[in-house]
Amino acid sequence: MATLAIPANTIAVLQKYKFHFQKRFGQNFLIDPHVLEKIIDAAGVTDEDFVLEIGPGIGTMTQYLCESARHVTAVEIDRNLIPILEDTLKEYENVDVVNEDILKLDLAAFVKERNAGQPIRVVANLPYYITTPIIMGLFESHAPLKSITVMVQREVADRMQANPGTKDYGALSLAIRYYARPEIAANVPPNCFMPRPKVGSAVIHLVRHEKPPVWVEDEAQMFGIIRASFNQRRKTLANGLSNSPQIHFGKETILEGIRELGVPVTVRGEELTLEQFARLSNILGSK
């Protein structure tokens, strides 16, 4: 294959199609074969896997995925890239390209139709401005996933695997822990992309839990409590929850729940573990 990961080949394709980068789609194309090999390696793609790629761009990583996977479906929002992808992927019979917004795709129905409901792997070089909604959308769809391997902004990768009490710890850290086990597979400097982003990136591999590590009566309520406790990060947990329009428990009930949890009423949300948030949600739900 004429690998697109070589900068000269990427430039040739962009010039051939007079392609202009769209800022609104956060487009940064990978131009480093070593990084692409690390992503495929981290994702653990084999010839038995069905892979969903989000944001294939001109098909740089798609080519590598097609070499390793049984089948690849690439979902691309920018319709200007569709004719380019038809050209750059024409050698491969195990790929199809869907011109769609991943946030509007019914993933569970998609996996049922395309892969007979069997678990898939997701691999993506994600636009930074929309990383969290995409990853949360993938998990919340409850579609069968083996793993998600994505290129994200370095600070987002740090937030995904942060521990309680640290400045990076927040709602995203807790959501990731609930759904998956995170591992940073590689750090990627700006010069590996075209155009160059202003910040460093990282490849993070998220292995889906077979079942969540904590038991919670009402998942949506627990995540509501988590979000409210980090919305006003410097406030105590009790004040953060009682000030939130999304939380429908009175302040006395909240204080009672925190005492029952066995932590000081002055505790901040950033000090609680996932297990403690699950227990607090169950306690408040029972009241």
pLDDT above 70 as % of the chain: 99
pLDDT score at 28: 87
pLDDT greater than 90 at residue 27:
no
Using one digit for the tens of pLDDT, what is the confidence trace for 181-203?
Answer: 999 999 999 999 988 899 999 99
Task: Please state, in angstroms and rounded to a whole number, the distance separating the CA atoms of residues 241 and 28.
Answer: 39
Band (pLDDT 50/70/90 cuts) for residue 21 is: confident
pLDDT greater than 90 at residue 257:
yes
Band (pLDDT 50/70/90 cuts) for residue 2 is: low
Cα 114 to the chain's mean position, in Å? 21
Using one digit for the tens of pLDDT, what is the confidence trace for 195-250?
Answer: 889 999 999 999 999 999 999 999 999 999 999 999 988 899 999 999 999 999 99
Using one digit for the tens of pLDDT, what is the confidence trace for 71-100?
Answer: 999 999 999 999 999 999 999 999 999 999
Q: What is the mean pLDDT of residues 19-35?
A: 84
Q: What is the mean pLDDT of residues 133-160?
A: 95
Please state which of the ranges 3-12, 45-54, 73-82, 144-153 shows the lowest mean pLDDT.
Answer: 3-12
Go through the domains of the chain in sequence order and give each one's CATH number. Answer: 7-208 (3.40.50.150), 219-286 (1.10.8.100)
Q: What is the mean pLDDT of residues 137-154?
A: 95
pLDDT score at 147: 97
Please state which of the ranges 21-25, 76-80, 185-189, 264-268 shows the lowest mean pLDDT.
Answer: 21-25
pLDDT greater than 60 at residue 1:
no
Q: What is the mean pLDDT of residues 118-131?
A: 92
pLDDT score at 127: 83
pLDDT score at 22: 73
Inter-residue contact 127 to 75 (CB < 8 Å): no
pLDDT score at 18: 87
Round the average pLDDT of the chain to a whole number and report it: 94
pLDDT greater than 80 at residue 256:
yes
